Chain A
Amino acid sequence: MISWLLPQASTFASTIDGLVLLIAVIVGFWLIVAEVVLFGFIFKFRARDGIRGQYVSGEDKSQKQWVSYPHYAVVVFDIIIIAAALRVWNEVKVEVPPADEQIRIIAQQWSWTFVHAGPDGKLDTRDDIRTVDDMYVQRDRVYTFELHARDVVHSFSVPAFRLKQDAVPGRAIRGWFKPTLEGTFDIQCAEMCGMGHGLMAGRVHIGSAAQYAAWMTNLTKIGAAGTAMAPTLMADVAAHDHAGTAGGTR
């Protein structure tokens, strides 16, 4: 049902939608019941000429059950929701399938950098391909990602994947996804990260094996390869790219 509004582009998207729907149905049903009872009583016990209002102490069993039974219902349905949520947690966070490919995601104010493993399928090798704001993946392959933040807390959010993961400076946070639909979908930052937070948009491009190969070939041609620069030079720039440390003093 939720997929009418937003495509389900990962294997666990429908599972998460199922949980959201379950919670919405349970809470929605009881909301309607509670409101019907509330307004029914308001109508039934409305002011009438010649009838004084009664003080209800709530000590009779027949009165208390209007409170205790809903409490029992809350406990029962909470257990149902928790059981369903644990099942989803297990599928998304615990039972991580073997990775077909790795991808590194680096968040910063206010961009995303993606390090694709390149033809050898391994990160930190010379054929790595880096892109800014555009992530390229292949349909029906399992990707494990390593999420970093350069400056402040961000949140890597791909609504079509039903994936949202905080990125915390100093930590490498791991997760996975398996795209199931071809197309281009939004990436957004879901954690307030400064005045440019709203501008921190990216895109995930999901293609067939042939499309993906063509993208990688093209990206390599235009010089997106990550190791184009010697590590010593990169370190030199990084060391001086922070004004506060430029030259050591101010």
Chain B
Amino acid sequence: MNQVPRSHLVGVALAPVALACGLLAAGCARGEAHAIPTGEQLYAACESCHGARGEGNVELSAPKLAGLPAWYLTRQLQRFKDGTRGAHPDDEKGLRMRAMARQMMSDAEVEAVVTYVAAMPDVDVILTLPEPDLNAGQADFAACAVCHGEKGEGNESIMAPRIAGLNDWYVAAQIRKYRTGIRGGAEGDDVGAAMREMANKAVAPERINNLAAYIQRLPG
């Protein structure tokens, strides 16, 4: 029987050690290079529902994000993360978004993805609510315009986001959630509480779709 050269045995013995060192070095290198992912990279987690251009996806109940201001996006992501929004047992879609928001691990990651989304050009969305009475919607919008502006352009100083051009189905769903406390009912959510009150006073349940359709058509 041929003898295996001693040098080969040493090589075989050292191979696992070399492999372990290599893996360790790779891990260390990754650690050094571990920087905050770019907004585009982070948005990959959002893209499958909200679309590559932030256009939203009605089939997944994912509203459009394009056109929303950075302050509002930041605030909503933080609220989803801390459970102020999307933690009500009846908020099926909110519960889904709450889990996804946790993927933004730090404030820096939130800032990065928000900067990316806020830079997206606004996109038009399709109308989904059937035969709305836009005159009735316009009449009810008067109460909303006090905070959100005549054109739905929003007012950051009072935490009123831009609502012009939002998906009609999304606006209608949110008004219903505010009315029932599914949204805005969390402890300490003062802005939500105010919005709840407005949603209950400003529009009757049977006129919500009209208002939502009118808001979608606002120029902003």
Where the two chains meet, the residues of A that have a C-beta atom closer than 8 Å to any C-beta of B are: 46-49, 106, 108-111, 113, 115, 130-132, 150, 195-196, 199-200, 222-223, 226, 228-229, 233-234, 236-238, 240-244, 246-250
Alpha-carbon separation in the docked complex, A247 to B96 (Å): 22
Q: Are A237 and B89 in contact (CB under 8 A)?
A: no
Contact with B99, one of A111, A237, A246 (Cβ below 8 angstroms): A111
Alpha-carbon separation in the docked complex, A241 to B83 (Å): 19
Query: CB-CB < 8 A to A110: which residues of B?
Result: 95-96, 99-100
Q: Helix, strand, loop or mixed for chain A's interface?
A: loop
Name the CB-closest residue of B to A243: B61
Q: How far is the CB of A124 from chain B (nearest CB, A)?
A: 14
Q: Known A196-B96, A199-B102; judge A244-B58 contact (CB<8 A).
A: yes
Q: Are A200 and B169 in contact (CB under 8 A)?
A: no
Q: Known A111-B99, A247-B172; judge A233-B185 contact (CB<8 A).
A: no
Q: Known A108-B95, A199-B103; judge A247-B170 contact (CB<8 A).
A: no
Q: Are A48 and B209 in contact (CB under 8 A)?
A: no
Name the CB-closest residue of A to B96: A109
Query: CB-CB < 8 A to A113: which residues of B?
Result: 89, 95
Alpha-carbon separation in the docked complex, A111 to B172 (Å): 24
Q: Known A108-B92, A226-B89, A237-B180; judge A247-B103 contact (CB<8 A).
A: no
Alpha-carbon separation in the docked complex, A104 to B48 (Å): 31
Alpha-carbon separation in the docked complex, A109 to B83 (Å): 16
Q: Are B128 and A250 in contact (CB under 8 A)?
A: yes
Let me know if B187 is at the binding interface, CB within 8 A: yes
Alpha-carbon separation in the docked complex, A46 to B96 (Å): 62
Contact with A236, one of B60, B91, B128, B176 (Cβ below 8 angstroms): B176
Q: Are A223 and B89 in contact (CB under 8 A)?
A: no
Query: CB-CB < 8 A to B179: which residues of A?
Result: 233
Alpha-carbon separation in the docked complex, A113 to B91 (Å): 11
13 A–B contacts from the bound complex (CB under 8 Å):
A111-B98, A132-B87, A195-B45, A229-B90, A241-B61, A241-B92, A241-B173, A242-B61, A243-B170, A246-B172, A247-B169, A249-B128, A250-B126
Name the CB-closest residue of B to A131: B89
Query: CB-CB < 8 A to A246: which residues of B?
Result: 128-129, 168-169, 172-173
Query: CB-CB < 8 A to B90: which residues of A?
Result: 229, 234, 237-238
Query: CB-CB < 8 A to B170: which residues of A?
Result: 243
Q: Give 20 new A-B contacts, CB below 8 A, not counting A110-B100, A196-B96.
A: A48-B1, A108-B96, A109-B96, A110-B95, A111-B98, A115-B89, A132-B83, A195-B45, A199-B103, A223-B187, A229-B181, A237-B90, A240-B176, A241-B92, A243-B60, A243-B61, A243-B167, A247-B209, A249-B129, A250-B58
Query: CB-CB < 8 A to B96: which residues of A?
Result: 108-111, 196
Q: Are B130 and A249 in contact (CB under 8 A)?
A: yes
Q: How far is the CB of B90 from chain A (nearest CB, A)?
A: 6
Alpha-carbon separation in the docked complex, A16 to B81 (Å): 36
Q: How far is the CB of A222 from chain B (nearest CB, A)?
A: 6
Contact with A247, one of B126, B129, B182 (Cβ below 8 angstroms): B129
Query: CB-CB < 8 A to A229: which residues of B?
Result: 90, 180-182
Q: Are A195 and B169 in contact (CB under 8 A)?
A: no
Query: CB-CB < 8 A to B83: which residues of A?
Result: 132
Query: CB-CB < 8 A to A200: which residues of B?
Result: 99
The 8 A CB mask of B61-100 against A (1 = contact, 0 = none) is 1000000000000000000000100011111110110111
Closest 5 CB pairs of A and B: A246-B169, A110-B99, A247-B129, A243-B61, A111-B95
